[in-house]
Structure 1
Amino acid sequence: MIVKMKFINISGPRDDIDRVTDLYLSRYEIQLESALSELKTVDNLRPFIELNPYRDVLAQATQFVGYLPNVDDVTPDDSLGLDDMFEVVRKACEDYEGLQAKKEKKKAKIEELRAKQQLLSPFRPLDCDLHKVLGYRYITYRFGRIALESYHKMNKYLMDDLSAIFVEGERDESFVYGAYFVSPGEAQKVDAVFRSLHFERIELKDEFEGTPAFAYQSLERDIARINLEIQDLDKEAGEMLSDRAPQLIAAKNRLEELSKNFDIRKMAARMKDSQDDSYILCGWMAEDDVEKFLEEIKDDDKVFVVVEDDHDAYFGEPPTKLENPKLFKPFEMYIQMYGLPAHNEMDPTIFVAITYSFIFGVMFGDVGQGLLLLIGGALIYHFKKAPLAGIIATAGVFSTIFGFMFGSVFGFEDIIEPLWIRPIDHMTTLPFLGKLNTVFIVAVAFGMFLIIVAMILHIINAARSKDIESTWFDPNGVAGLIFYIAIVVTIVLFMTGNPLPGGIVMGIMFGVPLLLIFLREPLTRMIEKRADKMETGPGMYAVQGFFEMFETLLSYFSNTISFIRIGAFAVSHAAIMEVVLQLAGAESGNPNWFGVIFGNLFVCGFEGLIVGIQVLRLEYYEMFSRFYKGSGRAFDPYTKKKTK
């Protein structure tokens, strides 16, 4: 069902907007419209230009709450006032930033130690005391790296002639790291040779004890110690926030409300003159909520509300809010997929729920598999609230019912007797057509009934919209309904062996409705007394009308025959389960129960999916296309009802 909406204007002193929003509007759902856009006829309107004072504090509170574990298990401390909330967030921010500053210093120290490690790493194979080496007075040393190719040349051609010793450290694909030692007297000559070999010096400071490997491990221990100190700071920060969790969560929740309430100014307008400075809010609210709201503010002399009754002329189409019983609520998903109904359309949710579940049950009639769908869908819907699961559970009820009608339990047809027929076996003889499967005949008849119901719904919707052409002369209007009922009556009389009406009667039954459909445009213009001329001439209109009439007749036929798929799937389901049981050896009396279980699960999932899609296709193409436009816009409340 569609909730009836009212368009309201709310106004009052400018500085009272926060109180009104927090005290009243936060307890109701209202879809706000831009007051500047909607109230174009009001003079002296201007926008609100104010910065949200809660936004920054809310961002900090949200950040801290995001760090908390098991937030849902914490009971917020709702005793705090607004100033207390600001102070809680400010103090938490101060303490947290203090701990973060210490943490950053320690991280910087780690980066410094990592840089020293990186410097020492290539020299770890050197077996020397770095402090002593860096303190040599009578031996000159140089740490660095040399290209691998140059190193080979040095070893082959120069090392024997140099009064120096090169001690190798680590090497990689491109360089050899190490140090050479030489007497001070030979240092200038040896340095020149190494420079010619592109030796790159690496300066080491005298701050290490022991060998390079020992110094490297000492740095690693220092890094591990500082990491533990960082973990302690993180733990301290976590404990600090956990101790204040009730206050922080309460502050975050309340600041969220206040921030959103303050941002309501984006939709509001100011009306300022020499004597008054006030706000104006406007939007859509459910009719029941409007009555409660008016009752609540009747003694508040700072709030003024005007309910607009003639909203169609000034404010466009109301938004659509669906409100259906819990049993049918999941089927709103299919309505939303197609398009929400406009405010003057019928809500087809209940129609879809009943027809979808019924058709699914006929196409997938099996007691055992229906119960599986019912139980599985109900459990998922209970815990996950997934609308599709609710639809599956409801469809499972009808599958179970038609399982009893067809006498099928997990594909076995010898456990219970059918209350009606077995789809795969039962045949009916018809005049002219001969023997046909009974479920095919019933499916087509049922399809005719649904098409008639869809046409009636179209007439109701068109009448609500005061659309004369759609009501009376549309192929789905009164003329189309009379023509289709005449066809149905004629077919039923012929198939049952009863005499048909006389030729004149049949001519009137078929001819007059088709003529009205053919002349729908000029007839509508005449009834509405419109003076505008048709866009096309009489000749082109006749040609266009002929082809449209042919298409209309073809659609009547194709839409009706399309319902034969209901019977086809009922028969195919029984046939597929026969194959499954044959493969599992059920006919021999000693079935492979694993095969029976797996086959049932496969059919339940795979064929159930196909049937679900086919039923949805029938809903959309054979029924919705006849009576439903789905041109509505969703009700999107700016404020949400508080749950207290």
Structure 2
Amino acid sequence: MVEKMKFISIVGPKEEIDRVTSQYLSRYEIQLENTLSELKDLKNITPCADSNPYRGVLARAEELAGRVREIGNAAPSGKRMETQAAVALTEELYAELEKCRAQKSGLEAERKKVVELLVNIRPFQNLHYDVASILHFKHIKFRFGKIPVESYSKLKEYLMDDICTIFDECGRDENYIWGVYFVPAAEEEKVDAVYASLHFERTFIDDDYEGTVEEAFEALTRRQKELEESLAQIEDSFQEKLMARGGEMLAAAETISDSAEYFDVRRLAAFTKAKDTVFFILCGWMTREDAERFEKEIEGDADVFCMVEDGKNESLENRFRKPPTKLKNPRIFKPFEMFIRMYGLPNYQEFDPTIFVAVTYSIIFGAMFGDVGQGLCLFIGGMLLYKFKKLNLAAIVGSCGIFSTIFGFCFGSVFGFEDVIEPLWLRPTEAMTTLPFIGNLNTVFVVAVALGMGLVILMMVFHIINSLRAKQLGEALFDTNGVAGLVFYGAVAAVVVLYMTGNALPAGIVLVVMFVVPLLVIACKEPLTNKLNKKKELIEGGKGMFVVQAFFEMFEVLLSYFSNTLSFVRIGAFAVSHAAMMQVVMMLAGAENGGTPNIIVVIIGNLIVLGMEGLIVGIQGLRLQYYEFFSRFYKGDGREFKPYAKAAKSS
């Protein structure tokens, strides 16, 4: 059902708005609206021009609180912290964090430099020579780097004696040899070209080393370790300070978050000045129950005034925006609200079809997928998945499984075996009914069409109710799904039933009244509605165009009645096809003539049918809901009730 809403307006001094928000609005579900838009007829009201002063400190508080949660299992102190105290604590600890970051930044830059030096010099540890001396040679040039193993072999075998160079090998692996080569300054270009042709990759060594390569490497390794210890010590020192007040910090973060959210309420408020006092105005929607409790609670607050609109003199939707929609259904039906939301929420005046969808969808699914064993599998699997994952679709599958089991008993089918139990009703592939003029027809098809005709009539009743709720009398009386359509379609259904059951048909004059008159009323819907609404122009576009348009519309109406009714044949068709598919599984398992079935084939066949046909039947059942049912009575153009964030979190 759609909960009844009330429109409330709250007025008080501007300095009280945060208190009202925290004391009242945070404990109730209220959808706040933009006051300037809702109360546009009021004059001398202005929006809030102040920026939220808590946004910057909120980001810092959340960062600190996140660090507290990462470090340990700290919990909020439990005491309500004043906003200013929370801000002061946050700024104090964040200043410590910035100090820690500044110290770490310098040490990390040095550590990065040390790591780079280590990476560059690591392959040359076997070079037992003072690095600084090499880097300051004047007449001898040097090149640190690596050369592929196969290139080094060519160098030693063919070129070493022909060029003025000395290569000092410092280390090797299976692919490369690291080392340094020396060359006279006069020969450097020629030798560099030779080494380049041999794929020598140069490593550039900075002038930051002391002693031999081995000594420099050891010194840099010690420095790296010292830097890492210093960094860890700084981080640990800050974490100790933070965790010493971890509970307070978590409470401060909550307080600042609340304060920031309370301040944001001002953006939806309007402000007006009376004498020397500035007042705020807040407005929004509450459920009737919450509004009554809120109104009673606020009576004792001398600084705040609340006005509740109950719509007795003038409908709310005419004075304000369309009321939002909040669905309230028994827990067993709530998962089916998913289907309603997929199509669109009912508007405030519409009938909520959740319970109807839950019942009809489950029954239709069960009728198309009747099997005791597979139905129990769907029920158990769906309920377990819903219990642990809270998936609405899983609950829907479980509900459908119940009705699949029920129809399985009606059809006498257990995992496709037709000889385990006797059907309580009939077997879909065998039961036939003899109808006048048509002859023999599968009984399930006949029942499916009859069920469909009954449901179409019910949809017309729903349409009439919705139209009357929306005060659209013309729609309720003259529409194809209104009273005129109900009389016509109901008369057709009655005549078909009487004819098929061998009873006498009504007199000709009665048939004319029941068939022709409603169609004429439907054809004249536009002028009749305009007449009802007291419009001067009854027909727009001329009488000739109206007649042509009415003729084709009548043809479309009659065709839609016929096609919509036949659409329900799919229920019987899937019931028969399910039984037929399981017969194929039994045949493949070798059980069609009473033989011992192959259990593996039976299990695999049931799983395939359960997955494939279950999905198809589920989609077809949803199609019937959307196209055959909702298209007749349901608009789904409502806007969702979205309560103020703090209430939404606590609810």
TM-score, scaled to structure 1:
0.89
Report if aligned partners of 2:121, 2:213 keep a CA contact under 8 Å in 1: no
**Residues 583 and 44 of structure 1, relative CA distance in 2, 3 Å threshold:** same
Question: How many angstroms apart in 1 are the aligned matches of 2:415 and 2:47?
Answer: 67
What whole-Å deviation, never above 9, does each CA across 1:543-584 have from its counterpart, x for those lacking one?
111111100000000000000111111111111112222222
Shift of 1:527: 2.3
Which residue among 621, 630, 633 is the counterpart of 1:624? 630
Which residue among 583, 591, 599 is the counterpart of 1:593? 599
Residue of structure 1 equivalent to 2:493: 488
Residue of structure 2 equivalent to 1:615: 621
Shift of 1:532: 2.8
Question: How many angstroms apart in 2 are the aligned matches of 1:136 and 1:506?
Answer: 117
Question: How many angstroms apart in 2 are the aligned matches of 1:601 and 1:158?
Answer: 76
**Residues 131 and 338 of structure 1, relative CA distance in 2, 3 Å threshold:** closer
Partner amino acid for 2:212?
Answer: G
Matched, 1:471 2:465: no
Question: How many angstroms apart in 2 are the aligned matches of 1:595 and 1:197?
Answer: 74
Question: How many angstroms apart in 2 are the aligned matches of 1:489 and 1:329?
Answer: 36
Q: SS where residue 331 of structure 2 aligns?
A: coil
Matched, 1:377 2:401: no
Report if aligned partners of 1:367, 1:400 keep a CA contact under 8 Å in 2: yes
Q: SS where residue 586 of structure 1 aligns?
A: coil
Tell me whether 231-240 or 596-605 shows the greater mean CA deviation. Answer: 231-240
Partner amino acid for 1:13?
Answer: P
Residue of structure 2 equivalent to 1:144: 143
Q: 1:315-330 to 2 correspondence within 5 Å? A: 315-330=320-335
Tell me whether 581-590 or 426-435 shows the greater mean CA deviation. Answer: 581-590
Tell me whether 32-41 or 231-240 shows the greater mean CA deviation. Answer: 231-240
Partner amino acid for 1:624?
Answer: F
Residue of structure 2 equivalent to 1:346: 351
Question: How many angstroms apart in 2 are the aligned matches of 1:207 and 1:146?
Answer: 17
**Residues 577 and 71 of structure 1, relative CA distance in 2, 3 Å threshold:** farther
Question: How many angstroms apart in 1 are the aligned matches of 2:97 and 2:326?
Answer: 45
Residue of structure 2 equivalent to 1:284: 285
Question: How many angstroms apart in 2 are the aligned matches of 1:65 and 1:393?
Answer: 42
TM-score, scaled to structure 2:
0.88
**Residues 74 and 497 of structure 1, relative CA distance in 2, 3 Å threshold:** farther
Question: How many angstroms apart in 2 are the aligned matches of 1:639 and 1:113?
Answer: 51
Question: How many angstroms apart in 1 are the aligned matches of 2:362 and 2:620?
Answer: 12
Which residue among 388, 397, 404 is the counterpart of 1:392? 397
Partner amino acid for 1:447?
Answer: G
Partner amino acid for 2:141?
Answer: R
Shift of 1:322: 0.6
Report if aligned partners of 2:8, 2:306 keep a CA contact under 8 Å in 1: yes
Which 5+ residue runs of structure 1 have no aligned equivalent? none
Question: How many angstroms apart in 2 are the aligned matches of 1:72 and 1:326?
Answer: 38
| Equivalent residues, number | 635
Question: How many angstroms apart in 2 are the aligned matches of 1:337 and 1:161?
Answer: 82
Report if aligned partners of 2:38, 2:321 keep a CA contact under 8 Å in 1: no
What whole-Å deviation, never above 9, does each CA across 1:35-82 have from its counterpart, x for those lacking one?
122222222211212232332232223223334558997643221422
Residue of structure 2 equivalent to 1:504: 509
Shift of 1:178: 2.9
Partner amino acid for 1:29?
Answer: E
Q: 1:54-69 to 2 correspondence within 5 Å? A: 54-67=54-67
Shift of 1:410: 1.6
**Residues 580 and 542 of structure 1, relative CA distance in 2, 3 Å threshold:** same
Question: How many angstroms apart in 1 are the aligned matches of 2:612 and 2:222?
Answer: 61
Tell me whether 545-554 or 108-117 shows the greater mean CA deviation. Answer: 108-117
**Residues 192 and 201 of structure 1, relative CA distance in 2, 3 Å threshold:** farther
Matched, 1:114 2:115: yes
Question: How many angstroms apart in 1 are the aligned matches of 2:416 and 2:361?
Answer: 23
Shift of 1:535: 2.5
Residue of structure 2 equivalent to 1:460: 465
Residue of structure 2 equivalent to 1:450: 455
Residue of structure 2 equivalent to 1:527: 532
Question: How many angstroms apart in 2 are the aligned matches of 1:134 and 1:293?
Answer: 86
Report if aligned partners of 2:488, 2:515 keep a CA contact under 8 Å in 1: yes
Report if aligned partners of 2:124, 2:178 keep a CA contact under 8 Å in 1: no
Which residue among 361, 365, 372 is the counterpart of 1:367? 372
Question: How many angstroms apart in 1 are the aligned matches of 2:347 and 2:406?
Answer: 35
Q: 1:522-601 to 2 correspondence within 5 Å? A: 522-587=527-592, 589-601=595-607
Report if aligned partners of 1:30, 1:639 keep a CA contact under 8 Å in 2: no
Q: 1:183-332 to 2 correspondence within 5 Å? A: 189=186, 204-205=206-207, 207-211=209-213, 215-216=216-217, 219=220, 222-223=223-224, 226-227=227-228, 230=231, 244-308=245-309, 309=311, 310=314, 311-332=316-337
Question: How many angstroms apart in 1 are the aligned matches of 2:452 and 2:318?
Answer: 40
Question: How many angstroms apart in 2 are the aligned matches of 1:323 and 1:71?
Answer: 42
Residue of structure 1 equivalent to 2:199: none
Report if aligned partners of 2:363, 2:403 keep a CA contact under 8 Å in 1: yes
**Residues 136 and 59 of structure 1, relative CA distance in 2, 3 Å threshold:** closer
Residue of structure 1 equivalent to 2:53: 53
Question: How many angstroms apart in 2 are the aligned matches of 1:135 and 1:5?
Answer: 85
Question: How many angstroms apart in 2 are the aligned matches of 1:192 and 1:574?
Answer: 89
**Residues 84 and 453 of structure 1, relative CA distance in 2, 3 Å threshold:** same
What whole-Å deviation, never above 9, does each CA across 1:513-537 have from its counterpart, x for those lacking one?
0010111111122222211353211
Residue of structure 2 equivalent to 1:180: 182
Tell me whether 564-573 or 267-276 shows the greater mean CA deviation. Answer: 267-276
Which 5+ residue runs of structure 2 have no aligned equivalent? 197-201
What whole-Å deviation, never above 9, does each CA across 1:263-305 have from its counterpart, x for those lacking one?
0011011112442211111111111111111100101011111
Tell me whether 372-381 or 442-451 shows the greater mean CA deviation. Answer: 372-381
Which residue among 401, 405, 409 is the counterpart of 2:406? 401
Q: Provide the alpha-carbon RMSD of the alignment.
A: 3.5
Residue of structure 1 equivalent to 2:97: 96
Question: How many angstroms apart in 2 are the aligned matches of 1:375 and 1:203?
Answer: 70
Tell me whether 492-501 or 613-622 shows the greater mean CA deviation. Answer: 492-501
**Residues 509 and 73 of structure 1, relative CA distance in 2, 3 Å threshold:** farther
Question: How many angstroms apart in 2 are the aligned matches of 1:45 and 1:215?
Answer: 76
Partner amino acid for 2:61?
Answer: A
Shift of 1:455: 0.3
What is the aligned-residue identity percentage?
A: 48
**Residues 326 and 365 of structure 1, relative CA distance in 2, 3 Å threshold:** same
Tell me whether 235-244 or 325-334 shows the greater mean CA deviation. Answer: 235-244
Report if aligned partners of 1:361, 1:398 keep a CA contact under 8 Å in 2: yes
Shift of 1:153: 11
Report if aligned partners of 1:80, 1:247 keep a CA contact under 8 Å in 2: no
Shift of 1:226: 4.3
Shift of 1:392: 1.1
